[in-house]
Amino acid sequence: MKQEAVLWKAKGKYFRFKEWDTFYFQEGRGENLLIIHGYPYNSYEWKPITDELSKSYRITVLDLLGMGFSDKPTNYNYTFPNQCNIIDALLKELQINETHIFCHDLGVSIVQELIARDSQNNN
């Protein structure tokens, strides 16, 4: 593993959801900003901008299940709702009730599901 990736991993922690571990890290101060990568990428793709973003935001960056440093179960239904269940649980664990979101690609579809859930819960 490249030294940069080793340092990236060292910044993080793991969140246990059911029997799987999801890699994430937080840094910075300010309003919350959740950062979700696309496919077939991982959180490391955000490396060039996380230092700058963390100057203004408390960023939470994660690897979706099945990617990056997160677990990669072989017998798992990788759906948007299932990825959202993990993200919802992580945000609850981190006591994040409100956040900005920065995403692209696959992350956009996951965020659409998160917004739909939030909308249903607030009606």
Strands 20-27 and 13-17: antiparallel
Can you give the residue range of the structural domain that contains 16? 3-121
Residue 25 is part of a domain; what is its CATH number? Answer: 3.40.50.1820
What is the tens place of the pLDDT at every residue in 83-120?
Answer: 999 999 999 999 999 999 999 999 999 999 999 998 88
Please tell me what DSSP assigns to residue 100.
E
Cβ count within 10 A of residue 70: 23
Quick one: tokens of 30? 């300010």
Q: What is the spatial distance between Cα 63 and Cα 65, in angstroms, rounded to a whole number?
A: 6
Number of folded domains in the chain?
A: 1
Task: Name 30's Cβ contacts closer than 8 Å, sequence gap at least 6.
Answer: 56, 57, 58
Instruction: Count how many Cα atoms sit within 13 Å of the Cα of residue 44 in the half-sphere of its side chain.
Output: 17
To the nearest 10°, the Cα dihedral for 4, 70, 27, 31? 140
Report residue 122's pLDDT band, with 50, 70 and 90 as the boundaries.
confident
pTM of the model: 0.93
36 has pLDDT over 90: yes
